[in-house]
Amino acid sequence: MVSMPWNRHAYKTAFLFIAALAVGAVLPAIAQAQSQQPQAEPPEPSSRQVMTRPVAPDAGGMSNADQPDGIVPSGGVELYQRMGAGLPPLPAEKPYTGPVDEAFGAYQRGLYVTALGKALQRASAGDAAAQTLVAEMMTKGLGIKRDAKTAAFWYGQAAERGDPAGMFQYALLLMTGRDVPADKKKADDYMRRAAEAGNSSAQFNWAQILISDNPGERGLQLALPFYEKAAEQGVADAQYAVAQLYVVMKNLPAQKKSMARQWLERAAKAGFDTAQLDMGVWLVNGVGGEKDYERGFDWLRIAAHRGNVVAQNKLSHLYIDALGTRPDPVEAAKWYVLSRRAGLQDPELEDFYLGINDEQQRQAIEAANKFRRS
């Protein structure tokens, strides 16, 4: 079966579950920082220009400076795009002894015209999997000119016949009203059915819908089994969600709670930078296991180099406090300058910056100017 694309932005309202985690249940200082929108680049901090802008306390009434080391874990406010790093290796696949699907075989080899011809013949005869393949190729313009409306028709046909990938894609179209009339009730039904049939993307999105439609603890309880199923199939966003829910949900078995850090690390290894940020913070603070400053520093450094503004801010603190690394005022100032340029203010780091000499400030700004996301 062809691997279907997953539109993680199709259910914007469903992402409210992350915001819910950040309010009260999950330590909020980083969550607050993540929610700040980038602003126009301010002038560089200078010992001759003292910044006096106040920073509001977080949702719990406590600022970063009130924390023992200024670093607290986050529930995350946004889901960032994965970077494509590999997950831990999966078990070897069992040898396939079933019939060979010539249409999908041609598609996987890049023989799109051949694949389309074979798939169209089967699709016209009512083959649901072939209908999904035809819709996929028409959506992407593979072997045929792009035709979103006709693709929507074939997705609808595949969904009616119960193809999991077809139901998932058609649910997205129904939810957004793209090329078909919007119908949330019908969209939810297809998304649920696709999730129950084992489609990992549908499982994640159905969990998001359950959270959105059932605020509070009930929504978390309903969604968790679907997050877990998607996480087991390698969906990094679901792995991140499982890690967060294992920490904040009540009455979960101790065995599940003990696995929170493992799920977070899998999402981090998949390149999900919010998971990388939280992985670093959890290790520094000892959330979900023992403290490990060096590994925490490494994860925050990875997220910072990938452009995560909050990680850049926290990495500056680690360089100042020599947690997991040697103290380095220039490197600390560089990461502060980068995070401040993105609109994240930190009075404690501002005081540090104003306390270093002009040469160190010059070196930090020069290093920040040379920074490129990895």
pLDDT above 70 for 349: yes
Q: From residue 266, how far is each of 90, 270, 276 by CA, in Å?
A: 12, 6, 10
Kindly indicate the confidence band of residue 90, based on its pLDDT and cuts at 50, 70 and 90: low
CA angle, 182 then 186 then 187, to 5°: 70
Short-list 162, 114, 116, CA closest to 139: 116
> Percent of the chain having pLDDT more than 70?
73
Longest dimension (CA), the chain: 77
pLDDT above 70 for 13: no
Look up the pTM and report it. Answer: 0.73
Token pair listed for 298: 């490494």
For residues 62 and 215, which has the higher predicted lDDT (pLDDT)?
Answer: 215
pLDDT at position 307 is: 96
Q: 150-169: per-residue pLDDT in tens?
A: 999 999 999 999 999 999 99
Q: 262-319: per-residue pLDDT in tens?
A: 999 999 999 999 999 999 999 999 999 999 999 999 999 999 999 999 999 999 999 9
Q: 194-251: per-residue pLDDT in tens?
A: 999 999 999 999 999 999 999 999 999 999 999 999 999 999 999 999 999 999 998 9
Token pair listed for 81: 């795009």
The tokens 């409306």 sit on which residue? 149
Size (the chain), residues:
374
Q: Which amino acid is at 205?
A: N
**Distance between CA 265 and CA 181 in Å, rounded?**
40
pLDDT above 50 for 126: yes
Give the three-class secondary structure for 372. Answer: coil
pLDDT above 50 for 58: no
Summary mean pLDDT of the chain: 81
**Distance between CA 112 and CA 149 in Å, rounded?**
20
pLDDT at position 97 is: 64
Kindly indicate the confidence band of residue 101, based on its pLDDT and cuts at 50, 70 and 90: confident
Of 35-49, 106-120, 124-138, give the lowest mean pLDDT range: 35-49
Q: Which amino acid is at 252?
A: L
pLDDT above 80 for 86: no
pLDDT above 60 for 84: no
**Distance between CA 233 and CA 230 in Å, rounded?**
5
pLDDT above 70 for 61: no
Contact between residue 237 and residue 79 where contact means Cβ atoms under 8 Å apart: yes
**Distance between CA 316 and CA 318 in Å, rounded?**
5
Give percent helix, percent strand, percent coil of the chain, each to the nearest 5. 60, 0, 40
pLDDT above 80 for 260: yes
Give the 3-state DSSP-derived string for 54-81, with helices as H, strands as E and coil as C. CCCCCCCCCCHHHCCCCCCCCCCCCCCC
